[in-house]
Amino acid sequence: MTRFYTRTGDDGTTGILGDDRVKKFDLRMETLGTIDELTAALGMARSLLPAENYHNEIIGIQRRLYELMAEVAASTENAERFRKISSESIIELETKIDDLSTTVESPQGFILPGDTPASAAVSMARAITRRAERRTAELFERGDISNIHLVRYLNRLSSLLFVLEIRLIQESDKKKPRLAKEKSE
């Protein structure tokens, strides 16, 4: 029988990729937990998408986030070994944003999430992405990670998810996102 517990974290620490152990509440662990939460939110969003629309895109992002997590989880000595996120990763997201943007009408205000189940789930994933970005930026600022592309990737991912949220609403019978402040007529 496979055991799904090790008891090694019972002292309030957890291992990172390398020989080091850190407190479970360490910023690195908070960051990893947030990115893990993001991958779960993207899975929820994917499950709510109509048909197979955007499934492969989201699966690709989820896989890329696991690569990002590996680098965040690596000790300083091992970080280079796990480095997968690069300027090419950023360009890839920017291309997706640009492609999707050609089919989207920009809203004239802040969007209220919840017009459709799928767009609401994408909005939740976008909000979690922003938290992951803040945590990753703090790790970078402290010198715990050295790859600025991790922060940039999360920044672009939040933009992509915002555009996808709008697109999903426009593809639905709602057609236009509900705004936080409606224009008076």
Tens digit of each residue's pLDDT, the chain (185 residues): 888 877 767 677 777 777 787 777 789 999 999 999 999 999 999 999 977 789 999 999 999 999 999 999 998 888 889 999 999 999 999 999 999 999 898 888 888 898 999 999 999 999 999 999 999 999 999 999 999 999 999 999 999 999 999 999 999 887 778 888 876 54
Instruction: State the Cα torsion 10-13-16-18 to the nearest 10°.
Output: -90
Distance, CA of 179 to CA of 111 (rounded, Å): 4
Q: Is residue 153 part of a domain?
A: yes
Q: Is residue 6 part of a domain?
A: no
Q: Is residue 177 part of a domain?
A: no
pLDDT at 157: 98
55-73 helix and 148-171 helix, angle to the nearest 10 degrees = 160
Residue 52, number of CB atoms within 10 A of its CB: 8
Q: Is residue 162 part of a domain?
A: yes
Q: Is residue 66 part of a domain?
A: yes
Residue listed under structure tokens 């809203």:
107
pLDDT at 66: 97
β-pair partners for 23: 13
Distance, CA of 3 to CA of 37 (rounded, Å): 23
Cβ burial of 110 (10 Å; 0-12, 13-18, 19+) is exposed
Question: What is the domain range of residue 101?
Answer: 23-171
Q: Is residue 40 part of a domain?
A: yes
Q: Is residue 181 part of a domain?
A: no
**Residue 126: CATH number of its domain:** 1.20.1200.10
pLDDT at 39: 98
Total domains in the fold of the chain: 1
Distance, CA of 125 to CA of 39 (rounded, Å): 8
Taking the model in full, what pTM does it have? 0.89
φ, ψ of residue 146 in degrees (nearest 5): -120, 0
Cβ atoms 161, 122 nearer than 8 A: yes
Residue 169, number of CB atoms within 10 A of its CB: 26
Q: Is residue 109 part of a domain?
A: yes
* Beta pairing, strands 21-23 & 13-15: antiparallel
